[in-house]
Chains A and B, each alone.
Chain A
Amino acid sequence: MTGTLSINGTELRISLRGDEVLLDVLRDLGHTEVKEGCREGACGSCLVLLDGVLVNSCQVLAASALGREITTVKGLGTFHEPHPIQEAFVETGAVQCGFCTPGMVLATFALLKKNPRPSEEQIRHALDGNLCRCTGYVKIIEAVRLAAERMASDA
């Protein structure tokens, strides 16, 4: 089947099989910032925003995303103009091997959009679908707190 996907604001005409998941389609299109982890929706490394809603792309059949807007971590900021969340992750040392980082950043983005001033408990709750095998959770939570402060003062 064929259709269009809008990825980070760029519309693409694609062909796909009816049983393909969004994760595979995005990676085949070169979006390797969307990481393949567990393929069960348990690790959060493949998170994307689908029409602004946080989803595990390994748990989304790609055909159901046709005609919709997909945002990967590269859609939030660029190397030269990073998003405040991305800056906060770098500044607090919340990035170790980096594999979980795209998912962590997107989960943080989804949290702060709904709740600009989350408590530590709310941060932990929002990130509980994201696994970091380097176990750098303390720094990650620090990064979310810093990003929240900065985004609230910029608003």
Chain B
Amino acid sequence: MDLSSISPALVVASLMVASTPLLLAALGELVVEKAGVLNLGVEGMMITGAICGFAIAVETGSPPLGFLAAMAGGAALSMVFAVLTLVLLANQVATGLALTLFGLGLSSMLGQGYVGIKPPATARLDLGPLSDLPFLGRAVFSHDWMVYVSLGLTVAIWYVLTRTRAGLTLRAVGENHDAAHALGLKVVAIRFAAIGFGGAMAGLGGAYLSLVRVPQWTEGMTAGAGWIALAIVVFASWRADRVLLGAYLFGGVTVLQLNLQAAGSALPVEYLSMSPYVITILVLVIMSARRSRATAAPASLGKPFHATA
């Protein structure tokens, strides 16, 4: 075993890139679920975002426009879900699953002409002297700007959900939509907004995959990342800080185990390959086990709401 061939700085750098799509998608779903809606269509919205972002970035040569288009694409698809479940009161689980299938099909149709094309590079954020720091410079301070945006969004979402009136309103809708309605809160409008936000975030995560992490367009390229993001939200017990931890653990252990394999680690490969799942679940479950009341799902999660009911 030659572990000296692993460069810790490069591993940290890679794990941040590998975790970012998961983090973005999971944060979006966190907000959606906090509002009491279960949208299982994350995978579909991610892949739609991946192709919308890729196509626009290639056509315009501008990654920022690509990311914006990805948000628009993901949000547009989520509106289909919102209309079906909030207006027509369709079953959320079935609609979400259908949304994933629809997104996968739609994206492969949109992506016909984009196979084998190289996207424009997403610019690295110039952090001046920080990038020259010995270890941290390479590991943490030499990424593209989307990595920092995703971390900023984590803080912003944590702050809004726990420290602001808007967050309180959103959580009230998710905990008890009848009571919230009785208080005069616009349950359906708030949920529309939350679902749209979740779609935009999933789209952003998808675009990060197609524009930075891989970078290319391939049909079905999310390969289950949306489902992992969904699982992270649950295991993170609906808290933004733990979503960040979960996404980084999963992405991090994945990258680390691949590096260990490449270095010829003596650990059996079977254990290494299952480690991202096992470690992420274990850590988050143990953390949540301490205070059971604070970790419950939003009480109205997945339940249909009708104002006259």
Partners in one complex: no
